[in-house]
Amino acid sequence: MDQIPLYPMRFEPIYQYRIWGGRRLADLLTAPLPDNDPIGEAWILSDRDDHASLIANGQLKGQTISQLMEHWPVQLMGKLSRRFSRFPLLLKFLDARELLSVQVHPSDQKTDYIPVGEHGKTEAWVVLEAGHESRIYAGLKPGTTADNLRQAITDGAVADHLAYFTPKPGNSVFLPAGTVHALGGDIVVFEVQQNSDVTFRLYDWNHVDAKTGKPRALQIDQAFACIDFAQGAIEPIVPVMEATMPVERERIFQCEHFHLWRLRGQSPFIVGEIDVPRILVCLEGKGEIEHDDVVYAIRKGDVFLLPAVVGVRTFWPCSAVNLLEIAIP
């Protein structure tokens, strides 16, 4: 098995019940949603012990991303193979019909609040669907202190201290670790983040979990220890246009943990890189790439991991496409 050459790999989504979720991910992903529960998250590339993504195509169908990292580290990660023992990013689609909890994630420097084997959590969102009632809360209003924010929790007035805006499809938001944030009101986003599941809830809008009949637990003290009170209002990112031909290529995020570009067009264009992995996420349209004489079809909602050995490929659109390409710096 270890001698099998790696190839472009598609992964099955891992659906997650969330009390604030909806059913709109059924319009984005081909895998049917489970039951009638509100589904808030689809983890589309996850190297977690409790939720490891399964390969959905090719000779290694049914293997996990964790097994790839263990048995094919150089083929998969190339020159990054010595840096990471597990895949460093976690990718999701979120369907927030209701508001998520007001929450914060620790930075890598907050080691007292990060469980062994975990990391901090810087993340970013690309808005796919939004309406007039949609909201993104990101950062604190001027004058917010630990004391008046604690009082606001008691008074149920946390929203008075949160900066917010009404998002539009295409907006992109970067959330450094330590940023107080939430979103909801019928909004669907793509999320890229460090491979971490450490979240501290500050306030939960008086939600009650229908499955338990109880409110969800808060972690107020841990949240306050991790909040960056200097982080003011966060606005949507202004993309940097890097190319217009043969495809519009916009750089949206560039931080120490991930780089992300949006590619839009209908002429063939280049994806991938030599000796490092890349990830493709198809948001609209469809197309295909070829590797070792095999054609790989990429449809709306698909996530494909291009292992380092795949290198540079040509993406052939079948129609106008909207594609995200993600790199690990």
| Cβ neighbours for 127, distance < 8 A, ≥ 6 positions apart | 136, 167, 168, 169, 170, 171, 172, 173, 187, 188, 189
Q: From residue 285, how far is each of 77, 131, 282, 297, 320 by CA, in Å?
A: 28, 22, 7, 11, 6
Q: From residue 301, how far is each of 69, 175, 284, 323 by CA, in Å?
A: 24, 23, 8, 10
Measuring CA to CA, which residue among 180, 278, 193 is closest to residue 229?
180
Q: What type of residue sits at position 270?
A: I
Q: Give the active site residue among 18, 135, 201, 262.
A: 201
And the tokens for 162?
Answer: 């949160």
201 in active site: yes
| Sheet hosting strand 259-265, strand order edge to edge | 9-10, 303-306, 278-284, 321-327, 259-265, 248-254, 240-243
Are the beta carbons of 313 and 250 closer than 8 angstroms? no
Q: Which residues are catalytic?
A: 201
